[in-house]
Structure 1
Amino acid sequence: MTTSVHPTPILRIGTHPSEEVDLLAVEEPLEIRLGHGPWEDRQQHRLSVTMRTPGHDFELALGFLFAEDIIQTYDQVHSLRYCTQVQHPEERDNVVRVELAPSVVLDLARLQRHFYTSSSCGVCGKASIEALAVACPRPLPTDFSVAEEAIHRAPALLRRAQLVFEHTGGLHAAGLFDSAGTLLRWREDVGRHNALDKLIGSYVAENQQPLRTSFVLLSGRVSFELVQKAIRAGIPLVAAVGAPSSLAVALARQYGLTLLGFVRDQRFNVYTGEARVVLRETVA
């Protein structure tokens, strides 16, 4: 059985040095394998290895496949399971096989870039920026808006919900909020990208896509790839406790996504799409 925390002995230095036990966020590799093709001639493809915190692994796999435009709906997935035929004991519960429906045709040439992602990789493992083109079937909604007060409240709500972070202080989180600022669902992981994949994947599993009437709050900085995942999911507003990258802002502007950064201490910066934020005061 997997766990998301691991106890370790430490020497705590303070007024009086003391030997104690601390809890660490677990980080282990997860390999995603695809089964595809007609039933009489199934093929296997090793798609990705990502460093993640164990838990919600099937949601992570679904969110990753959805973000990469390998699947569009959960109906294209026949089954998900952990591989039991593994070579080494440490691979148990760390290899997920996704069986795609026979009707799903893989573009193997596109998959030859063979993803390798780490817990903070950004766009590593991609052959080129051109390969990151977003498959966005429809424009993001323009009638969605969020009050400034709801955005200010969001970080504290997400922080209180982070049970593993409370014990370890070492996990990122992605939380989905409605327009009134109510926290609908959240996921934690040692990797920022994995946390968002798990969150989006949980809705893919319920065939609830796109997420056009909600916004997402991220606990760290915002990379190009995180904006890409949000656009794929139809999320019109991304807020983050940290800073966005230049590519993240450019992509958000290109697709009409509202991007907020440094959401903390009753302040935030609006980088794109300010029309979706209802301010208490008019900007001078």
Structure 2
Amino acid sequence: MKRDVPSPDSAAGTAEMPAQRTFAVRRWRHGAAGTEVDHLAEEVPVALEYNGISHAVMLATPADLEDFAIGFSLSEGIVEAAADLYGIDVEAGAQGITVRVEIATGAFVALKGRRRALAGRTGCGLCGTESLDEVMRMPAPVSSEATFDPAVFEHAFSALHKRQALLRDTGATHAAGWMRADGELALVREDVGRHNALDKLAGALARGGQEDIARGAVIVTSRASYEMVQKTAAIGAGVLAAVSGPTAMAVRLAESAGITLAGFVRGGSLVVYSHPQRLQIA
């Protein structure tokens, strides 16, 4: 597999396609108009091919696409482990980007047995899903004995905001971060789609292989939807903390998957919806 050691923050885009572009705009502010240069996050079709067969087309920011392919493959259950991924090649074209992934024969046979056409949109978690069984995939319960002082989440979210380079330039991206047991923010990935950002984080974690998953937490700048809980479970993390609220389905899944789900983590407060034992709250 073509691999580079992932940096903690990486959103530079591919060599052929940048993660952001500049546009001349007219801005009106307090009654005065002027011409300025604005930065916009790029959003392009990203086609994922497995062993030469097209599987999914997602709209995503063209940065950290190898991380995205690895994380998507793991969170969607296409492969059981990163070792089943033999090669990844990213190729930019006129219409978008193709990510060609080579996977183990057994994984490919299983994939062909449940192939689906998945047309992704920004923030779309179920687009193209063919059956209710695919939607309601129940992950194995996570095994994590990590505990956290709630105060470390506020510090981690503050650090996350400072390290969102694309958000700072464009105001249009979500981020997912990996917080270690001591509250240190170890990895950050950004994308126009919240699911994509979390897949990129999952891929970065799998590529690095150096983080103690059982003792860390996932933090996200979005709401905590059902799919975000599914992807957190696929990572094996015991805690998902979100700046916004969860859905009822997400809480039910977190409860059954053994995940501590916290929402509205902001302003020195949070709400715990499942498995509060991992947060040191009296």
Both structures adopt the same fold (TM-score exceeding 0.5): yes
Matching residue of 1:5:
20
Residue 109 (structure 2) pairs with residue 106 (structure 1)? yes
Letter in 2 for 1:134: M
CA-CA distance at 1:48 after TM superposition: 0.6
SS of 2:116's equivalent in the other structure is coil
CA contact (8 A) 1:70 1:106 kept: no
Higher-Rg member (1/2): 1
| 1:181–1:129 CA distance, 2 compared to 1 (3 A) | farther
What is the alpha-carbon distance in structure 2 between the residues aligned to residue 111 and residue 243 of structure 1?
Answer: 32
Residue of structure 2 aligned with 1:118, choices 113, 121, 136: 121
CA-CA distance at 1:222 after TM superposition: 1.3
What is the alpha-carbon distance in structure 1 between the residues aligned to residue 155 and residue 211 of structure 2?
Answer: 26
Q: Which runs of 5+ in 1 are unaligned?
A: 36-43
Residue of structure 2 aligned with 1:46, choices 45, 54, 57: 54
For these two proteins, the number of residue pairs brought into alignment is: 265
Show CA shifts across 1:234-274 (max 9, x none). 11000001111111111001111000111111111111111
Matching residue of 2:80:
72
What is the alpha-carbon distance in structure 1 between the residues aligned to residue 212 and residue 148 of structure 2?
Answer: 18
What is the alpha-carbon distance in structure 1 between the residues aligned to residue 88 and residue 168 of structure 2?
Answer: 30
Matching residue of 1:261:
263
Compare 205-214 and 233-242 and name the one that shifted more.
Answer: 205-214
Matching residue of 1:131:
134
SS of 1:205's equivalent in the other structure is helix
Residue 161 (structure 2) pairs with residue 159 (structure 1)? yes
CA contact (8 A) 1:5 1:23 kept: yes
| 1:177–1:210 CA distance, 2 compared to 1 (3 A) | closer
- Identity level (%): 31
What is the alpha-carbon distance in structure 2 between the residues aligned to residue 65 and residue 141 of structure 1?
Answer: 21
| 1:143–1:108 CA distance, 2 compared to 1 (3 A) | closer
CA contact (8 A) 2:144 2:237 kept: no
RMSD: 1.8
Letter in 2 for 1:74: A
| 1:248–1:32 CA distance, 2 compared to 1 (3 A) | same
Matching residue of 2:90:
82
CA-CA distance at 1:2 after TM superposition: 1.6
Matching residue of 1:41:
none
Show CA shifts across 1:181-211 (max 9, x none). 1001010000000000001011222345882
- How do residues 224-235 of structure 1 correspond to structure 2 at under 5 angstroms? 224-235=226-237
Per the normalisation by structure 1, the TM-score is 0.88
Matching residue of 2:180:
178
Matching residue of 1:39:
none
| 1:274–1:126 CA distance, 2 compared to 1 (3 A) | same
What is the alpha-carbon distance in structure 1 between the residues aligned to residue 177 and residue 209 of structure 2?
Answer: 18
